[in-house]
Amino acid sequence: MLITESANLIKNSKHAVVLSGAGISTPSGIPDFRSTSGGLWEEFDPMEVASLSVFRITPSKFFNWFRPMAKTIYEAAPNPAHLALAELEKRGYIQEIITQNIDVLHQKAGSKNVHEVHGTTLGMTCTSCYEKFESERFLINYIETGEIPLCSSCKQTLKPDVILFEEQLPVKIWNRAAKAIKNCDLLIVVGSSLEVKPVSNLPYSALAHGAKMIIINQSPTYIDSRADIIIREDLADVLPSIAQGILN
């Protein structure tokens, strides 16, 4: 019933926007950060390994912590949830995706209009001369040896283009995400606990101008009471089922 209702809401929308979090990528083998059963922050203090202060003073702490995650992300493939969203975008039923994820799996699945508000693993920037590089040329060596990537121009440390704690979100991308929310008549929250600001405020902004909302997440969120539909099942099963209901 909820699958059919969700499919109908999406079919009848004019500008559907997806807000995705770590839960959409866990079926691809990428651990989330905040769950109470295996979340990364259960084992690590984020301010000790993934803050801007730590990176500036002791970048090796970040790179030693991030190395296994980088390998997992590099080897991960999109799961059926990513593929379903990409197909719905291709067919014109979803217009934009705002993601908190840095794993590029939406793009690997074929999605085109993706706003990565927490950054991406695709690029790196020199901390000294600010020259930009594609991560691919450094990634294999870093994963295999643990060697910290250095700028080919000035030999200073390269920082992955992911947003660390204490770091401001990328302004241009955030503005595009905010515009997407302003334009949407349907917001579909998938795999996000909506605990991290300022992204957690986006659903309020959507509701403020009358957008409808679907939440597909295993655990409750602070805004469940305002949602039109809530589904607590595996995204890798739910999203393909919704897509099938729309496309058939």
Contact 166, 51 (CB under 8 A): yes
The SS3 call for residue 237 is helix
Q: Which two tokens stand for residue 171?
A: 């302004």
DSSP for 6-37, written as a single string: HHHHHHH-SSEEEEE-GGGTGGGT---SS-TT
Q: 3-state DSSP helix/strand/coil percent for the chain, to nearest 5?
A: 45, 20, 35
**Burial of residue 172, with CB atoms counted within 10 A of its CB: 0-12 exposed, 13-18 middle, 19 or more buried:** exposed
Q: What are phi and psi of 47, to 5 degrees?
A: -75, -15
Q: Which of 82, 106, 115, 118 is catalytic?
A: 118
**Residue in 25, 13, 213, 20 with CA at minimum distance from that of residue 94:** 13
Quick check: is 118 catalytic? yes
CA gyration radius, the chain: 18
Which residues are catalytically annotated? 118
